[in-house]
Amino acid sequence: MRPNTSIVFNQAPRRILLHALFWLAVLIVLTVIYGAGMPDYRLAIGVVAMFLPIHIFYFYSIAYILIPRFFNRKRYAESLLFLLLCVVLSTLAFRLLEILVADPVIYNSVKKSDPTFVWRKLQGSFQEQLAKPVYLISAFEQTNIFVWIALSVKFFKMWFERRQAAIEAELNFLKGQLHPHFLFNTLNNLYALTLNQSPRSPAVVMGLAEILRYMLYEANTEVVDLEKDIRIVESYIALEKIRYEERLDINFSINGLLPEYKIAPLLILPLVENAFKHGASEQVGQAWINIDLRLKNNLLKFKISNSKPENGTEDDNKRHHVSIGLTNVHKRLDILYPSAHQLRILEEDDMFAVILEIELDKRVEI
């Protein structure tokens, strides 16, 4: 497979523009800061522009040599040595540029307006000026302050991108778990029908094919039409009705569903599947499931309740609460709708209920 280089090239002009704007902002800020102590701002911007290449060289040496070649490869001793080399070289370069160019230019400019001006910073020989600790410390501070602001931004960006990649990988893993989990349960249903040579087996195969097609080809997006997701739920219920026949009483009411509503795919189906798996399938006699879906102003309220098996043990009840489907839904909600959802699981003497509320317009972009 050939790498998709077009994305990289498309992003390059934007990255170059952002970097150029950052260094322009640095130039303006430093000019404002140091211009207050100079005869005029034209001189200030010229002097600051002299030092800007040192800041730029220092930053890109760390950002594009030290971090990828040493730090990211866990070569920490070499990283430290490279960093110390950058600090020493940039500080010396800054101080040399001060002594040889910048300070004489500033001194001559001030001298024109004030012939009596004396600048102690220029006193002494070249070696004496270079060796003065106070000015070396000043050069170190001025060299590092904006470079490390820029590096802080880069480190935050790296952390954020890695976090997003980890979240996306986890979401793909959770969605991937839904497919075999659903398929395993439905194939069990189909196996039971074929053992009895039921004429309804072909209908189950067709229904299963429709649901799998949706999972494999339509649900691989960040959001889907809520109507489509609900239609797949209805198809799943139709499959289960074939299996349970008259032994199951199921009601599904929908209110306020509009075409414009979007949702992250496969959040509702596992809740329905859970009600069948841990409710109707474990109950010998008559079973019931009630489903209610209401939507208003992008707020989805979904409630599903099912009868509890009469002879259910404590372990059975626990499995209802911690099933793979419910666990996956809970994790995906925490990632995609972190502050815009509620998922409650209720248990009473004769029933289980799951209540889900989602603010559909507050999904986090991944």
Q: At what angle do helices 324-336 and 269-278 cross, to 10 degrees?
A: 160
Q: What pLDDT score was predicted for residue 283?
A: 55
DSSP 253: E
Residue 7's pLDDT is 41
% of the chain beyond a pLDDT of 70: 85
Q: What is the mean pLDDT of residues 298-308?
A: 93
Residue with tokens 């004496």: 128
- Please name the residues in contact with 363: beta carbons below 8 A apart, sequence gap of 6 or more: 222, 223, 264, 336, 337, 340
Per-residue pLDDT reduced to its tens digit, 317-346: 455 445 667 888 888 888 889 889 999 999
Report the pLDDT value the prediction gives residue 262, as an integer from 0 to 100.
94
What's the average model confidence in pLDDT over 191-217? 80
- Give the number of other Cβ atoms within 10 Å of residue 331's Cβ: 15
Contact 132, 99 (CB under 8 A): no
pLDDT at 234: 92
Task: Encode pLDDT of 101-155 as tens digits.
Answer: 988 888 888 888 888 888 888 888 888 888 889 989 988 988 888 888 888 888 8
Average pLDDT, the chain: 82
Q: Tell me the whole-structure pTM to 2 decimals.
A: 0.57
pLDDT at 169 over 90: no
Given phi > 0 = left and psi -120 to 50 = alpha, else beta, which region is 341?
beta
Kindly list the distances between the CA atom of residue 276 and the CA atoms of 159, 271, 304, in Å, as whole numbers in the listed order. 42, 9, 11
Query: Of 121, 142, 137, 114, nearest to 33 (Cα)?
Result: 142
Is the pLDDT reported for residue 179 higher than 60?
A: no
Strand duo 299-307 + 287-296: pairing: antiparallel
Quick one: pLDDT band at residue 188, thresholds 50, 70, 90?
Answer: confident
Q: Which residue has the tokens 């080399």?
A: 85
Q: Look up residue 200 and give its DSSP letter.
A: T
CA distance 312 to 305: 16
